[in-house]
Structure 1
């Protein structure tokens, strides 16, 4: 754990000072516990406050109390309880990417699901591994709610996406004084402390400040001599300050400043299968993988091995958001939303979980001084002295909202400019044994073992500076054709541009600690290798060491533009019944791929046509409840899919590319319901049915002279899409005991979640995750004996299911590894509220 309690106490002290100074001047006010006090759920899915039951969009909503009871602290946690939402945390929970209704984000593409905090899209990453564009550590505290919007939302929201949007809505400062301090302890040495205080500053200003600090020991145990004892740990501090100033009765300024710092060891996948032969011949890496499995046998389900010196996953992010709202008249509101953010991450981890230890003899031959040395398939590390992601993001949106009787409308313009803060990238050793990969003290151990030293092991060094520019104009209106029937139409036009500087190098080792640097693109001339017809290489002139940091430069650019739209009809036969039908066009930008294989450095946009019908029904009375259902069909074309590029002679490390080669059809059904059959008892359920099929996958030729000679798609035509479980369900029951108010409020709740089998990659059946069922429980006692103290017990994965979250299918390299999900977690929560 690298984020110390001192960091938290420093920030928390500022909160305490504000609370102490303000307490003398305040009177008693309602407590702030994050729970909704309204019988109706309010959402902002159409950029204005509306009842959930009045919005013709399939939405899942969680308030802060529900997030706390489920111990939701990451995007992976959120996906457990949300139909049609999946999460990929292969590169750590700090870098989780989302998939909604089958629209997943391939590595090195822009987000298919946009995450918004206070109406502003999450800062971009743009690096070699996933980063930015998501909901990182410290995002899930002191929120009004989280809203998951399903289907294209590009008409009203800033950045166009094909899958949907996730809205994180923070608590806005209020005009009364109050706050809380909360502490949690639990297994795996969990420690978490939160502080929030809200205070008025005179008659026209309100301030809210909060800090969240959490540490937890990793549940993965490293049995190798290199690196820390634990992986998959938590260690972050997040701070947020919000200020609302009423400049005039009709002019409000709302500013949010936030900062997050996370320091963890990252995570390591576990090798679970070995394949000792390939095409009837021994597989050297398969044999070494079998040795690793034998070495780990009996060491526990969560035993992993690491070869990376100084492994880590560091994240630093800060952001300022300013929203100015002007009530120009009773029928016109003008809003300006501006933000600036910086995101930097550094990643060093064992990418595939392999630790191959050279035995004294191998394939019948003595191994000499290599005996006992470690080597690994691929380690994923940032380039020495550089970050994995290092990006700034500026956004500006001017919005107009009006109400002209039967017509309510919105219009606006959006601008986003994301620039690198410096050069960033990676340096990834492959099939090497390195005493220090940063200084290239390596030996081509696998090459020497197979009699091909200098031709097998290598280091791939890829550096970039990437800029994004996104511009959009939009308008949408809803016209009441009658008291019950209304028509909605919206149109947006978007211009996107990505530019990249890229430097791609391959470093080979004809002898130990003797690196030779070449360009990793034959088009760049004499410093690049060229491929012979039999797959072997002629290496060009090595780059002088003094020039290696600035060699192999390329400039890349990709532009795309497109209209997107939505049209729909809403019918309300009664105030509590809504029927709707709509058609939407979604679009996701094309971009550059500076880390892609040569000849595949850019890709084009994708689009989707979505058709959806649904109904929302609610009722009151003795047994109040709600029932919402939506059915949809998506026609997905020009799909951005990933393919792997391999040199079958292992003379260059594998790489990936993004190509517009797919077309898919997607349809499904989503149901959300809730009922209160008697006083104190609430029952809610959600279900998602998702049927996806990759209809076509166009063949992709390898460019002449490429370093690669074999293409391997991560998807298969005729099969479902990755990260698209056919069934997802969650049922939550809660009961509040009938106790006198002097005792307090005691509520017990439990959530059962189910996800059917999930495909992560198609290179074999091993790429499918088995069905998963999880049970989470909580017990909360609010206002203990009339005091301002709340107590809570929580437990996730109560039955201690052993499961995986992602598969690295590398049968061609002799092994398969998997990322392990969290075991049972439990703890105690204590909160003191003041007002």
Structure 2
């Protein structure tokens, strides 16, 4: 760690020396931008550069200054400030999934929101928990902007989605030498250093290097006395190299290489409620649910006795951690073949690797002392007061919990007629995602495990009946062992025809071909602690007990005997039909109908219901974009939408049979139909060069119209599926109201003094369901920032910032395990964070 900071310090010193002579030329990048309206913002929502106000799509755009003001460092941070965008941080912020307009993603499913960096989708991965399919930590440094597109974008973007797309646009190398350095120190011992250096090596050859190193202690305090002192910490390094070669006046090639590494203690959740009346196994109740429910109640009682707050947790994991590594190389070639035709080709390769070890439900459980547990203790079961862990994921040496590589190839022809009446984009997309090895991880269930990855466990609960009068303490070790191949291909075309200078018609079509080829050799051990023999394996069988009911891996330890292969294919058309009317440069009104599609899924953890089919949505949207100038320039954008959502993929909690040897499961089912409707508003005004105000708002109304639960086979290891949500209820992560309001006040000062700006950001999110059954209350957050830019013409900026200044303690998501375990736990967002940044810009910045 110290070596990294020494290296970073050397880089900073070198860049400072190079740039000091150019300090007088430094400019505040936000200065000119703050004086302009949204009419000057350029986006690439339709794969070509256009003014934001000319694009008939509902979009929220953040420039780099706004990202810094909001302290956005990882993708999940966007959800706090973007109307209609929600994040599910069930497994921590860097493994978050996204929802736009109520279109949710669960573990093992394809994203409903595509995350793109430099026009390339995030590297695919599918492990036991959500992860991958997004950008690495630190990717939000040195960007031109971030664009959040709402609604289906399938006709022009690589992978088909139903919810929308998030586009990260990196800064391009320029012809001017320059860069910046920025250091941050904040509470929770935050130390962050980031910067960029732009070097024009020749008139036609330019490079840009940027990096971000960020550390911060966790804000969830661990009160167990075991393992790390805190959770939800930050610890990542990010680097990017961009190379621009202008080979001829009409031909350019850009290479962007990125690397991200994050290594943290992981997330933790706070216990809020339990089931104190769980039925005892002596009267027909579930043995495992009884133990976890009562132990959870005792954990809550300890929290209350200590006076714990929502940011206090009690986790017994000894060596938890989440280690994520991502890298990607993107090559884009652009050839202006003529004045009316541009050929663009984008080729990329990326890899994602994850090693993770954590307790799924952040528990510190002990066998309760009551008549039921004493009954089993008298028959060889665990003694009251013995420790046991509910579900503990371990790292198996030599394997990644999730890993994958992704190749993409996209060819576009961007053209127009000589009279500019017709413009079009035609192309094809190929995506090949392949395993880098086994996705392999061992999970200890109901045991006492120092490390389930190495089978270093002892039995805890009375799982193994050896005779009518003796039950041995046992532990289940589930070994998830899977490989996935994904092929996602498509051909597309979209054209806009101008009947007049004011009236245009847009039509788009795409045909997508998707294949998932999954293979599993997943199996499970049962280890029993037997007096005189120690803890020994007494059973090892296939998890897929339906396909392989008689396999005994203790007798023949060949996991290929559990081999199950599932191949699913789907091909669907999607389309867009829209009309827009632009009576003048300042007004755009539009209406459109689009079809969205998301591929199905394969999840081997649920024998008998491993697959779910594709989902689709028909979206109808009308909107207007209005720009006004004069003494008070600004803009007002509004969109209203109606979505008819069918065959939706919904999470279903699986309740295991007592004799199954499983702890439960998380199925994905095609549950039926929902309606989603709402309104989005984005507006802003500039009062001279002194005050800039902006407001973003979304209203979302979702209703589940139909829930069809699949019928379980008679020999299924599960006895019940509990789908997320109820008919007539709303979808998860779909708050009715989201509001973001910001104000930036520039204090008039002489130019030689610099520029002083004070800013405030207010966000409000109404209450929402987070797992179909748990509702979290509304949240209101306030951020403040103050900037003194270009102090005395030196190119030095000082920025003070504070997020969540009222220190609101707010829930973000839920573990969602009450049905199977009797546990009610919640994840919490960051408390008050504050600090100061020192920034030095030189040359072109």
Give the TM-score range, shorter chain: over 0.9
Name the counterpart of 1:10: 7
- Establish whether residue 459 from structure 1 lines up as the match of residue 490 from structure 2: no
For 1:782, the equivalent position in structure 2 comes to 789
Does the 8 Å CA contact 2:56/2:580 hold for their aligned counterparts? yes
User: 2:225: which partner in 1?
Assistant: 225
Q: 1:483 to 1:452 in 2, by over 3 A?
A: farther
- Give deviations 1:774-818, integer Å, cap 9, x for gaps: 011100110112222100110011000111111123334232111
Residue among 808, 813, 827 paired with 1:819: 827
CA contact (8 A) 1:34 1:143 kept: no
Segment drifting more, 515-524 vs 697-706: 515-524
TM-superposed CA distance for 1:55, in Å, is 0.2
Shift of 1:29: 5.3
Cross-structure match for 2:799: 792
Aligned pairs for 1:245-284 (under 5 A) are 245-278=245-278, 283-284=290-291
Q: How far off its partner does 1:525 sit?
A: 3.3
Report what 2:644 is aligned to.
Answer: 635
**In structure 1, how many angstroms separate the alpha carbons of the residues matched to 2:15 and 2:185?**
26
CA drift of 1:566 comes to: 0.3
Among 381, 386, 391, the residue aligned to 1:373: 386
Counterparts of 2:772 and 2:50 in 1: how far apart (Å)? 42
Q: Contact 1:640/1:659 (CA < 8 Å) preserved in 2?
A: yes
> Counterpart in 2 of 1:803?
810
Listed one character per residue, the Cα deviations across residues 532-572 of structure 1 (whole Å, up to 9, x for unaligned) are: xxxxxxxxx4533x725544111111111111110110101
> Partner of 1:333 in structure 2?
342
2: distance between equivalents of 1:233 and 1:122?
Answer: 23
- Verify the 8 A CA contact 1:307 1:375 in the aligned structure 2: no
Q: Paired residue for 2:710?
A: 700
Question: Higher mean Cα deviation, 824-833 or 640-649?
Answer: 640-649
Correspondence for 1:410: 425
CA-to-aligned-CA distance 1:324-355 (integer Å, 9 cap, x gap): 10010100000110000011011111111221
| Residue pairs, 1:822-833, within 5 angstroms | 822-833=830-841
Number of the residue aligned with 1:654: 664
Q: Gaps (5+ residues) in structure 2?
A: none
CA contact (8 A) 1:188 1:216 kept: yes
8 A contact 1:12–1:211 mirrored in 2:
no
Which residue pairs with 2:729 in the alignment? 719
Aligned to 1:645: 654
811-820 vs 468-477, which moves further? 811-820
Distance in 2 (alpha carbons) for counterparts of 1:458 and 1:508:
5
Aligned CA distance change for structure 1 residues 658 and 456 (closer, same or farther; 3 Å) = farther
CA contact (8 A) 2:460 2:473 kept: no
Aligned positions, number: 814
Tell me the distance in 2 between the aligned counterparts of 1:382 and 1:636. 39
Question: Are the equivalent residues in 1 in contact too, given 2:473–2:529 (CA < 8 A)?
Answer: no
1:670 maps to 2:680:
yes
Map of 1:514 onto structure 2:
536
Segment drifting more, 448-457 vs 716-725: 448-457
Aligned to 2:406: 393
DSSP 3-state at the match of 2:521: strand
Residue 216 of structure 1: CA displacement? 0.1
Deviation at 1:74, TM superposition (A): 2.1
Cα deviation 1:385-432 (Å, max 9, x = unaligned): 321211001100011101102101110111000101000133222222
CA contact (8 A) 1:15 1:209 kept: no
Equivalence for 1:498: 516
- Structure 1 residues 362, 308: closer, same or farther in 2, change over 3 A? farther
Pick closer, same or farther for the CA change 1:784–1:21 going to 2, 3 Å: closer
Contact 2:396/2:454 (8 A) holds in 1 = no
Distance in 1 (CA, whole Å) between partners of 2:198 and 2:353 is 30
Deviates more, 1:450-459 or 1:57-66: 450-459
| Alpha-carbon shift at residue 21 of structure 1 (Å) | 6.9
User: Could you tell me whether the CA contact under 8 Å between 2:26 and 2:841 is conserved in 1?
Assistant: no
Q: Give CA deviations for 1:579-617 in whole Å, capped at 9, x if unaligned.
A: 0000001111123223x3111222211111110000000
| Matching residue of 1:732 | 742
Q: Secondary structure at the match of 1:447?
A: strand
Greater shift, 346-355 or 359-368, is seen at 359-368
Distance 2:470 2:218 in 1: 39
Indicate the larger mover: 548-557 or 583-592: 548-557
- Which whole-Å CA distance do the structure 1 matches of 2:835 and 2:54 have between them? 38
Partners of 1:241 and 1:740 lie apart in 2 by 38
> Is contact 2:523-2:559 (8 Å) kept?
no
CA distance in structure 1 between the partners assigned to 2:513 and 2:222 by the alignment: 47
Could you tell which deviates more after superposition, 165-174 or 781-790? 781-790
**Counterpart for residue 533 of structure 1:** none
1:113 counterpart = 2:123: no
Q: 1:23: how far off? A: 8.4
Cα gap change, 1:20 to 1:792, in 2 (>3 Å): closer
- Call closer, same or farther: CA 1:9–1:485 in 2, change over 3 Å: farther
- Which of 492, 498, 505 is residue 480 of structure 1 equivalent to? 498
Assess, with a 3 A threshold, how the Cα gap between structure 1 residues 436 and 95 changes in structure 2: closer, same or farther.
closer
> What aligned pairs does 1:64-463 form with structure 2 within 5 A after superposition?
64-278=64-278, 283-297=290-304, 298-301=306-309, 302-358=311-367, 363=372, 365=374, 370=383, 372-404=385-417, 405=419, 406-447=421-462, 453=471, 457-463=475-481
Is the contact between residue 95 and residue 136 of structure 1 (CA under 8 Å) also seen in structure 2? Answer: no
Structure 1 residue aligned with 2:693: 683
Contact 1:444 1:453 in 2 (8 A): no
What does 1:33-52 align with in structure 2 at a 5 Å threshold?
A: 33=29, 37=33, 39=37, 40-52=40-52
CA contact (8 A) 2:184 2:838 kept: yes
Write the distance in 2 (CA, Å) between the matches of 1:557 and 1:169.
35
In the other structure, the counterpart of 2:771 is 761
Alignment CA distance shift 1:784-1:14 (3 Å): closer
Structure-1 separation of matches of 2:4 and 2:23: 31
Query: Which shifted more, 267-276 or 30-39?
Result: 30-39
Counterpart for residue 534 of structure 1? none
**SS of residue paired to 1:141:** coil
Structure 1 gaps of 5+ residues are: 529-540
C-alpha distance in 1, partners of 2:526/2:775? 35
CA contact (8 A) 1:8 1:212 kept: no
Between the aligned partners of 1:9 and 1:145, the Cα distance in structure 2 is: 30
1:719-772: CA deviations, max 9, x gaps? 101110011001101100011112111100101100011101234xxx111111
User: Do 1:32 and 1:180's aligned partners in 2 also have CA atoms closer than 8 Å?
Assistant: no
Aligned-residue offset at 1:195: 1.9
Q: Following the alignment from structure 2 to structure 1, what is the Cα–Cα distance between the partners of residues 474 and 646?
A: 39
For 1:631 and 1:176, how far apart are their aligned partners in 2?
43
Cα 1:261–1:5 shift into 2, 3 Å: farther
TM-score relative to the length of structure 1: 0.94
Q: Choose the corresponding residue for 1:572, options 582, 585, 588.
A: 582
> CA 1:697–1:712 in 2, change beyond 3 Å: closer, same or farther?
same
Distance 1:830 1:489 in 2: 49
1:538 aligns with none
Q: Give the corresponding residue for 2:623.
A: 614
1:714 positional shift: 1.7
Secondary structure class of the residue paired with 2:750: coil
Counterparts of 2:23 and 2:423, CA distance in 1: 40
Q: CA deviation at 1:370?
A: 4.1
Partners of 2:353 and 2:402 within 8 A in 1: yes
Q: What is the distance in 2 between the residues matched to 1:627 and 1:285?
A: 53
Provide the C-alpha distance between the structure 2 equivalents of 1:452 and 1:633, rounded to a whole number of angstroms.
Answer: 61
Following superposition, the deviation at residue 208 of structure 1 comes to 0.6
| CA offset digits 1:213-232 (Å, max 9, x no partner) | 00000111112232111111
